[in-house]
């Protein structure tokens, strides 16, 4: 069964109302590896309930519609699915606990050609359930490696943010735990690709890989600590292109370049393989 563009564009997502508390905020931060130094007050603000702050990237796990592309009606080969790109625009800082509503829609479905895969572009907004205030807007590109050649349009696609042709202004290294994916999935992404060796093998990997959104959050925290004094209120937006998977236990090194007007370019490598795993990153600071 092949994917049908019209079916995906018309996919109906129910609003997702989600309550979260300090335990959820702490668990998300622990899933990113924060708290590795229990004496570091900058880390403790995200993993200790006294004065707890929510990480600005936590919006990506809230109001999530679930692993909807695994629904047989989509026609997608979900075992070969990968996260392609992720953007978040932060309008209002998230509290450490509250009640939110997520609204999702499919924006476009792009055919890269037979044997080259397809792209599903979706958007999600996250609002305070009681006041209606907008917390953040998110855009996501899902790469369906096994679903190209269905006869859809081949574009348009967004131009990647360029990486400067010079040495980075700073680097932030973040070790990950071998069980990092098993911790991160407790925040709501239950794709077995990140837990089940058999599913990972069927997807072309020799072992479960780290969630792309976990790597995204790690890079976001690296930007905060490296360029914004760890202040979660200063991050206005973050956008990346996923270029390769991270294996749990590897060290992620985020390279950061200062640009004009509070804009940063960044990318992330895994130290052990020298491989770029996040590329064409762009962050904006307040």
Give pLDDT tens digits for 46-65.
Answer: 999 999 999 999 999 999 99
pLDDT of residue 79: 83
Tell me if residue 194 is catalytic: yes
| Domain around 109 | 5-285
Check if the beta carbon of residue 162 is closer than 8 Å to that of residue 36.
Answer: no
The whole-number average pLDDT for the span 67-72 is 92
273: left (phi over 0), alpha (psi -120 to 50) or beta: alpha
The whole-number average pLDDT for the span 270-285 is 97
Residue 260 pLDDT greater than 80, yes or no: yes
The whole-number average pLDDT for the span 73-100 is 94
What percent of the chain clears pLDDT 70, i.e. is strictly above it?
A: 100
Could you say which of 147, 189, 211, 218 is catalytic?
Answer: 189
Residue 191 pLDDT greater than 90, yes or no: no
pLDDT of residue 87: 98
Residue 158 pLDDT greater than 90, yes or no: no
The whole-number average pLDDT for the span 196-225 is 95
Could you say which of 83, 127, 161, 194 is catalytic?
Answer: 194
Give the span between the Cα atoms of 166 and 144, in whole angstroms.
33
DSSP label at residue 128: E
Residue 73's alpha-carbon distances to 7, 12, 110, 151, 236, in angstroms, are 9, 12, 18, 18, 37
Side-chain-side CA neighbours of 275 within 13 Å: the count stands at 10
The whole-number average pLDDT for the span 127-133 is 97
pLDDT of residue 80: 87
What residues contact residue 114 under an 8 Å CB cut-off, 6+ apart? 148, 149
- The model carries a pTM of 0.93
The whole-number average pLDDT for the span 54-77 is 94
Helices 212-227 and 22-31 sit at what angle, rounded to 10 degrees?
90
Give the span between the Cα atoms of 135 and 20, in whole angstroms.
14
Chain center to CA of 62: 12
The whole-number average pLDDT for the span 240-265 is 96
Tell me if residue 212 is catalytic: yes
Give the span between the Cα atoms of 274 and 252, in whole angstroms.
10
Token pair of 99, please?
């009640």
| CATH number, position 244 | 3.10.129.10
pLDDT tier for residue 244 given thresholds of 50, 70 and 90: very high
Could you say which of 209, 218, 252, 256 is catalytic?
Answer: 209
Q: What is the domain count for the chain?
A: 1
pLDDT of residue 53: 98
Residue 208 pLDDT greater than 80, yes or no: yes
Give the span between the Cα atoms of 148 and 81, in whole angstroms.
12
pLDDT of residue 201: 93
Tell me if residue 165 is catalytic: no
Residue 95 pLDDT greater than 80, yes or no: yes
Query: In the chain, which ranges are E strands?
Result: 16-20, 81-90, 98-111, 118-128, 134-144, 170-175, 235-242, 251-258, 263-270, 275-285
159-175 tens-digit pLDDT: 999 999 999 999 999 99
Tell me if residue 261 is catalytic: no
Cis amide linkage into residue 195, ω under 30° from 0:
no
Could you say which of 31, 84, 188, 212 is catalytic?
Answer: 212
pLDDT of residue 82: 86
DSSP-assigned states of every residue in 30-59? HHTTTTSSTT-HHHHTTTSSTT----GGGG
Mean pLDDT estimate for the chain: 95
pLDDT tier for residue 214 given thresholds of 50, 70 and 90: very high
The residue whose two tokens read 């679903």 is: 147
Residue 216 pLDDT greater than 90, yes or no: yes
Give the span between the Cα atoms of 64 and 68, in whole angstroms.
10
Check if the beta carbon of residue 215 is closer than 8 Å to that of residue 38.
Answer: no
CA dihedral (57, 245, 259, 87) positive or negative: negative
The whole-number average pLDDT for the span 23-47 is 95
């Amino acid at each position: 069964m092949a994917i049908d563009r019209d079916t995906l564009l018309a996919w109906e997502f129910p609003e997702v109302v989600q309550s979260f508390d300090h335990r959820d905020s702490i668990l998300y931060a622990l899933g990113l590896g924060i708290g590795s130094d229990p004496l570091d007050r900058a880390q403790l603000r995200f993993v200790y309930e006294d004065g707890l702050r929510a990480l600005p990237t936590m919006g990506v796990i809230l109001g999530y519609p679930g692993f909807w592309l695994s629904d047989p009606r989509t026609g997608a080969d979900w075992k070969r699915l990968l996260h392609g790109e992720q953007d978040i625009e932060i309008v209002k800082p998230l509290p450490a606990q509250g009640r939110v509503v997520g609204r999702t829609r499919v924006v476009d479905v792009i055919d890269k050609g037979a044997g080259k895969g397809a792209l599903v572009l979706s958007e999600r907004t996250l609002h305070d359930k009681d006041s209606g205030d907008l917390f953040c807007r998110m855009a996501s590109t899902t790469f369906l490696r096994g679903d190209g050649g269905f006869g859809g349009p081949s574009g348009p696609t967004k131009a990647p943010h360029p990486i400067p042709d010079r040495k980075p202004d700073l680097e932030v290294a973040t070790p990950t735990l071998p069980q990092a994916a098993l911790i991160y999935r407790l925040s709501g992404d239950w794709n077995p690709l990140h837990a089940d060796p058999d599913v990972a093998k069927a997807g072309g990997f020799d072992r479960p890989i780290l969630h792309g959104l976990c790597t995204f959050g790690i890079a976001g925290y690296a930007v905060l600590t490296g360029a914004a004094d760890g202040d979660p209120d200063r991050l206005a937006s973050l956008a990346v292109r996923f270029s390769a998977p991270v294996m749990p236990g590897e060290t992620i090194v985020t390279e950061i370049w200062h640009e004009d007007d509070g804009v940063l370019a960044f990318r992330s490598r895994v130290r052990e393989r020298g491989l770029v795993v996040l590329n064409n990153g762009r962050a904006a600071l307040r």
